[in-house]
Structure 1
């Protein structure tokens, strides 16, 4: 599944266009490699996403084309969350 679609379906980022912009600004890495919005995401991948003032490190637990809102949080596990003080 494409990175931008995974971020939208899992509700980490609300809109796919925003996920694409974040990836295009080189703020996302998959398994320690810079990722484009079209990068393929698989179960077991580790994503590092740099938001405006925080960094989120997550592990992909499942990949699905569509998911109900309640199940979206089960698609990933937060490994680390950092923000400046």
Structure 2
């Protein structure tokens, strides 16, 4: 499944267009690398999503579109979360 669609269906972002914009700006990483909206998400993959003041790191548990559309499906598990100052690059250490 495309990463932009996964972010929307997994409820990590509200709209697919917002997911595409975040990806284009470099606020989303797949398995430690910058990616494009068309990148394929697979079960076991690790996503990092930089929001305004935090970076959320998750492991993909389900990448099946039909299952993600069903209520109650668990799409991801949290691996970690760290705060980031809004004026800092979320991918820089320190």
Q: CA deviation at 1:83?
A: 1.7
1:68 corresponds to which of 63, 67, 70: 70
Q: 2:53 maps to which residue?
A: 53
Q: 2:5 maps to which residue?
A: 5
More helix by share: 1
Within 2, Cα distance between the matches of 1:10 and 1:44? 14
Q: Which runs of 5+ in 2 are unaligned?
A: 86-94
Q: Which runs of 5+ in 1 are unaligned?
A: none
Describe the SS at the equivalent of 1:57.
strand
Q: 2:18 maps to which residue?
A: 18
Within 2, Cα distance between the matches of 1:65 and 1:32? 23
Within 2, Cα distance between the matches of 1:80 and 1:45? 14
Q: CA deviation at 1:84?
A: 4.3
Q: 1:35 maps to which residue?
A: 35
Q: 1:81 maps to which residue?
A: 81
> Who wins on radius of gyration, i.e. which is larger?
2
Query: Please, what is the CA RMSD of the aligned residues?
Result: 1.4
Q: CA deviation at 1:50?
A: 0.5
